[in-house]
A and B are shown apart, each in its own frame.
Chain A
Amino acid sequence: MARVFVTVGTTEFDKLVRTVTSTDVLRTLSSRGYREMVLQIGAGKTEPPTGTVEGVAVRWFRSKPSIAEDMAAADLVIGHAGAGTCLEALRAGRALVVVTNTTLMDNHQAELAGRLAADGHLLHCVCETLRDTLAGMELSQLRPLPPADPTPFAEHLERRLGLR
């Protein structure tokens, strides 16, 4: 059964929780073959429904020391636009839809999500456009994120310190 994992990070993103558990979005996900949804809601005030809604079995938790297992078990990750979430999901090879929290004042966090979206590694939207994004997404067209490489950095420092 295809599963969606929704993560809001360490703080809260009630609007995303409400949007992703709305009738519209759950119906869209169900029509795209998703039957399970697990939400990590952080410190949010909005508690999602538990049980099966519009054909999707929903459960949720607030936080865990690590969400690696939840990510690994998901066929689709819907997350806030935090850099840590983006990179964790992409490094785990997950299909990722990132939702920017437009109520946040300093949104430099969204810079990374925007850049990764422009490079075709993930889909980027806001709560208002989430339903349409999910309805029309072609996950097979997402490009895997190449691994990071700190070797040039180490070589640079060794050169600068006269070690090579």
Chain B
Amino acid sequence: MALGSDAECGEDCTDNESSLGGGHTSEMLSLAAALDRRRFCPRVYVAAAGDSLSGERALRTEEEDGARLETIPRSRRVGQSWVSSVWTTAVAMLAALRLVFTVRPRLVLANGPGTCVPVCLSALLMKWLLWRPVHVTFVESVCRVRSLSLSGQILYRLADDVIVQWPELLQRYPRALYMGRLV
């Protein structure tokens, strides 16, 4: 998730959740690289705790721009029971709320499973409850052609933008945006 700024450098946060093989990390780095560094800075990358590989990659790329990495607990592991997921999601949500309410991003850019949902929801709460301006954009992975990921489905009606990378998804999700393949 990239929290961007407007013309003066505010707080900027990029959330990348690395799943198998770090695909989402690569996608997030490509997306973040496309954003004007003078306008969208500084950048805070948010990864799930334990995903040190994805976070390190993000930082190495952005080091010169004063970017930093924050980690929050993973909200759910693949295959985790739904009962225990409620607890871990709550823990992740608290950590996300604390992070987002501290950083106060102007833009949240999210992709990937798990971690991005608590961060996006926190940003939306900040908008709705505190009336702080923040734009929440979820970019669905390029590997999703016919179905949205769970994160995408959750954020479909909540985020300001849900961007897909294949036009077929517009049939099932007409509120989504398609602007070609981005990565």
Task: Give the complex CA separation of A97 and B139 in angstroms.
Answer: 28
- Inter-chain contact B39/A83, CB cutoff 8 Å: no
Answer yes or no: A109 CB below 8 A from chain B CBs.
yes
Closest residue of chain B to A153, judged by CB?
A: B182
Closest residue of chain B to A106, judged by CB?
A: B78
- Inter-chain contact A160/B34, CB cutoff 8 Å: no
Answer yes or no: A1 CB below 8 A from chain B CBs.
no
Answer yes or no: B35 CB below 8 A from chain A CBs.
yes
- Inter-chain contact A157/B137, CB cutoff 8 Å: yes
Q: Which residues of B contact A156 (CB under 8 A)?
A: 161, 163, 177, 179
- Inter-chain contact B144/A84, CB cutoff 8 Å: no
Task: Give the complex CA separation of A133 and B177 in angstroms.
Answer: 36
- Inter-chain contact B30/A150, CB cutoff 8 Å: yes
Answer yes or no: A139 CB below 8 A from chain B CBs.
no
Answer yes or no: B130 CB below 8 A from chain A CBs.
no
- Inter-chain contact A84/B147, CB cutoff 8 Å: no
Answer yes or no: A47 CB below 8 A from chain B CBs.
no
- Inter-chain contact A111/B144, CB cutoff 8 Å: yes
Please, how many residues of chain B have a CB less than 8 angstroms from a CB on the other chain? 40
- Inter-chain contact A163/B34, CB cutoff 8 Å: no
- Given A10-B20, A111-B145, A154-B36: A161 and B179 interface contact (C-beta under 8 Å): no
| Chain A, 134-153, CB within 8 A of any chain B CB | 146, 148-153
Contact of A111 among B35, B139, B147 (CB under 8 A): B147
Q: Which residues of B contact A108 (CB under 8 A)?
A: 143-144, 146-147
- Inter-chain contact B34/A151, CB cutoff 8 Å: yes
Task: Give the complex CA separation of A99 and B182 in angstroms.
Answer: 25
B-side residues, CB < 8 A to A, are 4, 6-7, 20-23, 26, 30-31, 33-36, 39-40, 106-107, 109, 135, 137, 139, 141-147, 160-161, 163, 166, 168, 177, 179-183
